[in-house]
Amino acid sequence: MINIVLFGPPGSGKGTQAQNLIEKFNLKQISTGDLFRHNIKNETELGTLAKSYMDKGELVPDQVTIDMLVDELKKPTQAAGFIFDGFPRTAKQTEALETIVQDVLGDKIDLCLALVVEDETLVGRLLKRGETSGRSDDADEGIIRNRIKEYYAKTAEVAELYKQQGKYVEVNGVGEISEISEKLYAEIEKIK
């Protein structure tokens, strides 16, 4: 299996690139943001809880997010591996992911691919996405800036953990979508 963490701040293009990677390598994407939005749409208890954090641009509590991820990972799949998009977002989630992948799949995380984009570009992209996405967390610049703040406060340290394990690679997230994909493909080919 190939198990990849796709990493980067909000608006760095994780979702877009994940789409290309799943096709190229027959992977299954697990996006915690998408899973939360699915729960919000279906008005589940988990959705109501998640929404109260997401609408402020804050992270949903770790244990709630981890439990949801475990449920998703247990679903049978024919995929050749996983892309984790939007998870892990804290040090605690990073440790949990290692354990979960080991326990559920008998496997490990191979690589953390980080998309690098500077903050003002992120804000611009997210405001633009908000014009059409219907996402309440994209509609307001204050919420967007808070998401970026949360990223530096809680999520940036995830990169350090993968660096220590020698699994961290940065790719410039600005440019043509296909060019960025090619760079990501090349990094995955190296570890195959």
Strand partners, 170: 114
**Catalytic status, residue 147:** yes
User: Does residue 36 bind ligand ADP (CB under 6 A)?
Assistant: yes
Q: Which is nearer to ligand ADP, 16 or 102 (CB)?
A: 16
Q: Which is nearer to ligand ADP, 41 or 190 (CB)?
A: 41
**Lookup: tokens for 61:** 């509590």
Among 18, 27, 54, 112, binds ligand ADP (CB under 6 A): 54
Within 92-111, the residues that bind ligand ADP by CB under 6 A are 93
Rounded to 5°, the CA angle 163-164-169 comes to 15
Provide CB contacts within 8 A for 15, sequence distance 6+.
31, 33, 34, 85
DSSP at 75: S
Q: Is 7 within 8 Å of 14 (Cβ atoms)?
A: yes
Residue nearest to ligand ADP (CB): 33
Provide CB contacts within 8 A for 35, sequence distance 6+.
68, 69, 72
**Catalytic status, residue 37:** no
The active-site residue out of 129, 154, 167, 183 is: 129
Minimum Å gap between C-beta 54 and ligand ADP is 4
- Helix/strand/coil (H/E/C) assignment for every residue in 16-69: HHHHHHHHHHCCEEEEHHHHHHHHHHCCCHHHHHHHHHHCCCCCCCHHHHHHHH
**Lookup: tokens for 186:** 């090349």
**Catalytic status, residue 14:** yes
- 118-137 mask for ligand ADP (x: CB under 6 A)? -------------------x
User: Does residue 33 bind ligand ADP (CB under 6 A)?
Assistant: yes
Q: Which is nearer to ligand ADP, 122 or 189 (CB)?
A: 122
Q: Is 70 within 8 Å of 104 (Cβ atoms)?
A: yes
Q: Which is nearer to ligand ADP, 58 or 98 (CB)?
A: 58
Residue range at the interface with ligand ADP (CB under 6 A); choices 30-38, 40-48, 109-117, 168-176: 30-38
Residues forming the active site = 14, 89, 129, 135, 147
Footprint of ligand ADP on this chain (CB under 6 A)?
10-11, 14, 32-33, 36, 53-54, 57-60, 65, 86-87, 89, 93, 137, 147
